[in-house]
Amino acid sequence: MAQPPRSERPDMQGYGVTEDPDGLLDWEWAETRLLGCRNYWLTTVNADGRPHSMPVWGVWMPSRQRFGFGCSPTARKVRNLAANQRVVVAPHDTVECISLEGRAVMVVAPAGGDVVDA
């Protein structure tokens, strides 16, 4: 079972960003934006620790609290995820930023195609 989402402030020492959790936006705010988005940035890491970010079309699945996307089974992101399941997903919006961190798993779609579920 997935852990419930946790809100955090960015670590921006020296920029006046407080560590106080008072005033953090709630999960409903973030989920509304995730549901309204189709274009996301997906960041994976290869076995040597080198990051790789690519835009993907994806979907937020609120009933499962998961993000899903599809791609070629030979894509670099799939090879990276085979070596390191850690992933970051962010909607394309750079004003109202959301960054999801987690682990991805490969699942088989009903039609027989591979789908990554993060």
In this predicted structure, what is the pLDDT of residue 19?
A: 79
- Tens digits of pLDDT across the chain (118 residues): 456 677 887 777 788 888 788 888 888 999 999 999 999 999 999 889 999 999 999 999 998 889 999 888 889 999 999 999 999 999 998 888 899 999 998 876 666 555 555 5
Q: Which helix (H) or strand (E) holds 116?
A: strand 114-117
- CA dist 7 and 21 (Å) reads 8
Q: With respect to residue 4, please indicate whether it lies within any of the assigned structural domains.
A: no
Q: With respect to residue 3, please indicate whether it lies within any of the assigned structural domains.
A: no
Number of domains, the chain: 1
In this predicted structure, what is the pLDDT of residue 1?
A: 46
In this predicted structure, what is the pLDDT of residue 14?
A: 84
Q: With respect to residue 10, please indicate whether it lies within any of the assigned structural domains.
A: no
